[in-house]
């Protein structure tokens, strides 16, 4: 007797939003972008990245590394921007930081959608 709940041979269950994989990586990037409106979502995104890094393997892990570094480097740039707001340069650096984070998230989303790895996930640049 066969189990009516088990999937048919050859049919795979798509990965969920919370499981390591393509959808979860896309969720992390979306949470980062949503963080400009709802700040706590960025923290949730980095937690997902830390929890799932090393579990999926392959190209997905490069995205988790990229996302984690985007969070910490963006936070560093943000703190420096706030400290320099007494000078006008802090405002300009803050705008540059926002653009940098958005560009990294868009690059990550495009590569994740195509199933491609991040070329240099350890990079401080774009």
Predicted confidence band at 11 (pLDDT cuts at 50, 70, 90)? very low
Q: What is the DSSP string of 58-85?
A: THHHHHHHHHHHHHHHHHHHHHHHHHGG
Tokens of 102: 């958005």
C-alpha closest to that of 44 among 31, 26, 56, 63: 31
What global pTM score does this model have?
0.83
Query: Which tens digits make up the pLDDT trace of 69-98?
Result: 999 999 999 999 999 998 889 999 999 999
Average pLDDT over residues 26-42: 95
């Amino acid at each position: 007797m066969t189990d009516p709940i088990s999937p048919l041979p050859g049919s795979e269950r798509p990965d969920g939003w919370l499981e390591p994989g393509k959808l979860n990586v896309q969720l992390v990037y979306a949470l980062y972008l949503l963080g400009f409106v709802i700040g706590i979502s960025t923290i949730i995104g980095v937690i997902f990245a830390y929890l799932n890094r090393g579990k999926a393997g392959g190209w997905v892990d490069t995205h988790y590394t990229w996302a984690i570094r985007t969070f910490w480097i963006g936070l560093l740039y943000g703190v420096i921007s706030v400290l320099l707001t007494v000078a006008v340069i802090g405002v300009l650096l803050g705008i540059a930081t926002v653009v940098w984070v958005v560009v990294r998230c868009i690059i990550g989303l495009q590569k994740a959608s195509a199933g491609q790895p991040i070329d240099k996930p350890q990079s401080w640049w774009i």
